[in-house]
Amino acid sequence: MKTQIKKICCIGAGYVGGPSMAIIADKCPHIVINVVDKNKQRIDQWNNNNLDKLPIYEPGLKNIIKKCRDNNLFFSNKIEENLREADMVFISVNTPTKTKGIGAGQAIDLKWIESCARQIGEFAKDHTIVVEKSTLPVRTAQTIKTILEAYTAKEKKEKVHSRSFSILSNPEFLAEGTAIYDLQNPDRILIGGDDNCALNALSDIYLNWVAKDKILKTDLWSSELSKLISNAFLAQRISSINSVSALCEVSGAKINNVAKAVGMDRRIGQDFLKAGPGFGGSCFKKDILNLIYICNHYGLNEVANYWQKVLDINYWQQKRITKVIIDNLFGTISEKKIAILGFAFKPNTNDTRESPAIAICNDLLEEGCYLSIYDPKVEKSQIQNEFSKFSGNSFNKSWNLAGSVYEAVSEVDALIFLTEWEEFSNLNYEIISEAMNIPKWIFDTRNIVEYKKIKDYGFKLWKLGEGIST
Ligand code: NAD
Ligand code: UGA
Which residue from 291, 312, 348, 328 is spatially nearest to 444, judged by alpha carbons?
A: 328
Q: Are 1 and 81 in contact (CB under 8 A)?
A: no
Rounded to the nearest whole angstrom, what is the distance from the C-alpha of residue 86 to the centroid of ligand 2?
A: 32
| Ligand index nearest the alpha carbon of residue 234 | 2
Which burial class, exposed, middle or buried, applies to 306 when counting CB atoms under 10 A from its CB (0-12, 13-18, 19+)?
A: middle
Q: Are 231 and 206 in contact (CB under 8 A)?
A: no
Q: Indicate the burial class of 84 (C-beta count within 10 angstroms; 0-12, 13-18, 19 or more).
A: middle
State the DSSP code for 191: E
Mutate to test the pocket of ligand 2, among 284, 351, 417 (most ligand atoms within 8 A of CB): 284
Ligand nearest, relative to CA of residue 446: 2
| Stated length of the chain | 470
Give the residue ranges of DSSP H helices in 252-300. Answer: 255-263, 284-297
Q: In the sheet where 73-76 sits, what is the strand order?
A: 73-76, 32-36, 7-11, 88-91, 127-132, 164-169, 189-192, 215-218
- Among 9, 10, 11, 16, which is best to mutate for testing ligand 1, by the most ligand atoms less than 8 A from CB? 16
444 lines ligand 2 (CB under 6 A): no
Atom of ligand 1 at shortest distance to CA of 116?
18
Please give the positions annotated as active site. 283
Side chain identity at 468, as an amino acid letter? I
Phi, psi of 128 (to 5 degrees): -125, 135
Kindly give the distance from the C-alpha atom of residue 175 to the centroid of ligand 2, in angstroms, as a whole number.
Answer: 6
Q: Which of 270, 259, 245, 11 is nearest to 128 (CA)?
A: 11
Q: From the CA of 251, how far away is ligand 2's center (Å)?
A: 28
Beta bridge partners of 237: none
The answer to pTM > 0.85 is: yes
Of the listed ligands, the closest to the CA of 46 is 1
pLDDT score for 317: 98
Answer left, alpha or beta for residue 369, where phi above 0 means left and psi between -120 and 50 means alpha: beta
3-state DSSP helix/strand/coil percent for the chain, to nearest 5?
45, 15, 40
Q: Of the residues 181, 231, 233, 287, which should be mutated to test ligand 2's pocket, given the most ligand atoms within 8 Å of the CB? A: 231
Residue 72 Cβ inside 6 Å of ligand 2? The answer reads no
Whole-angstrom distance, CA of residue 137 vs CA of residue 232: 13
233 CA to middle of ligand 2, Å? 11
Q: What is the DSSP string of 327-394?
A: HHTTT--TT-EEEEE--SSSTT----TT-HHHHHHHHHHHTT-EEEEE-SS--HHHHHHHHHHHHTTT
Note down pLDDT in tens along the chain; length 470 residues.
567 899 999 999 999 999 999 999 999 999 999 999 999 999 999 999 999 999 999 999 999 999 999 999 999 999 999 999 999 999 999 999 999 999 999 999 999 999 999 999 999 999 999 999 999 999 999 999 999 999 998 787 887 777 999 999 999 999 999 999 999 999 999 999 999 999 999 999 999 999 999 999 999 999 999 999 999 999 999 999 999 999 999 999 999 999 999 999 999 999 999 999 999 999 999 999 999 999 999 999 999 999 999 999 999 999 999 999 999 999 999 999 999 999 999 999 999 999 999 999 999 999 999 999 999 999 999 999 999 998 888 899 999 999 999 999 999 999 999 999 999 999 999 999 999 999 999 999 999 999 999 999 999 999 999 999 97
Most distant CA pair in the chain, distance: 84
In short, whether 459's Cβ falls inside 6 Å of ligand 2 is no
Q: Among candidates 469, 455, 347, 341, which has minimal Cα distance to 405?
A: 341
